Amino acid sequence: MKNSTKVMTVRHPLERLVSAFRDKFQDGRAVEKAQSDGHMRYFWKPAMVALKKGRNEEGKLQITFHEFLQYVVKEQRSSAGDPHWMRLYRLCSVCGIDFPFVMRLETYTDDLAFLVRNLGIAEVNPLERRHSLYSDTPYDASTRLSIDTEPAISIKNSTLKYYLDVPPNLLASVLDIYKIDMEMFHYEVPPVLQEIVDRYRSSAA
């Protein structure tokens, strides 16, 4: 670690949660069994136990997005949580490791291009990306790239839809849990979600 260049890659916490739900819990669809024994052991069974939930009337497994968020909140209040949705500042030990480079998934191509240029790595092609959820700006080797000047980044509309009907108290708990990640990596809470939480907190005060 002392002789290595340390690079951290981050992603908007609300995007990470939706991605984990879609990948690990079948996007809320009922299934007869999980994708694999590993999925059953590490994701479905712990969630079902924490939620005190059984199979549905057809004997199938099903977890809604609301239930998934309830599980995440309950888990992270008692432990670090699963790495797929663990808070980034804990997952990467940012308080104990000095990361000179932090790349964001949302601006991956530009960030990787900056890293390649800064470190003089000729073997890495910034255009190579196998998992893309955002349309990145085309890489231009002649373009000067800067860091720490990017505006706060919010989430996609397709992700926002998952949160619009989440109960306000649950949404407030989720935002509280990931507040440090949001602030540390300049991620924005969508105004419509912030308004929902603000109204809830005002009514509860």
Q: What is the pLDDT of residues 135-172, one digit of tens each?
A: 444 334 444 434 444 556 889 999 999 999 999 999 99
184 lies in a domain? Answer: yes
Q: Where are the alpha helices (DSSP H) in the chain?
A: 13-24, 37-39, 45-51, 65-78, 88-91, 108-119, 157-163, 168-177, 179-184, 191-204
Helix, strand, coil percentages, rounded to 5, for the chain = 50, 5, 45
Q: Which amino acid is at 199?
A: R
23 lies in a domain? Answer: no
- pLDDT band of residue 64 (cuts 50, 70, 90) is very high
Q: Which amino acid is at 111?
A: D
111 lies in a domain? Answer: no
- pLDDT band of residue 82 (cuts 50, 70, 90) is confident
Please tell me the distance from the alpha carbon of residue 105 to that of residue 9, in angstroms, as a whole number.
7
**pLDDT over 70, % of the chain:** 85
Taking CA atoms, 156 is separated from 70, 88, 124, 128, 134, in Å, by 22, 20, 28, 22, 9
Instruction: Look at the alpha carbons of 85, 153, 181, 70 in this order and tell me if their dihedral is positive or negative.
Output: negative
C-beta of residue 195 within 8 angstroms of C-beta of residue 165: no
162 lies in a domain? Answer: yes
Task: Tell me how many domains the chain contains.
Answer: 1
| Category of 114 on φ-ψ map: left (φ > 0), alpha (ψ -120 to 50) or beta | alpha
170 lies in a domain? Answer: yes
Query: Is 133 a residue whose pLDDT tops 50?
Result: no
Taking CA atoms, 187 is separated from 76, 174, 198, in Å, by 20, 14, 18
* Domain of residue 163, residue span: 152-204
179 lies in a domain? Answer: yes
62 lies in a domain? Answer: no
50 lies in a domain? Answer: no
- Residue identified by tokens 């191509």 is 109
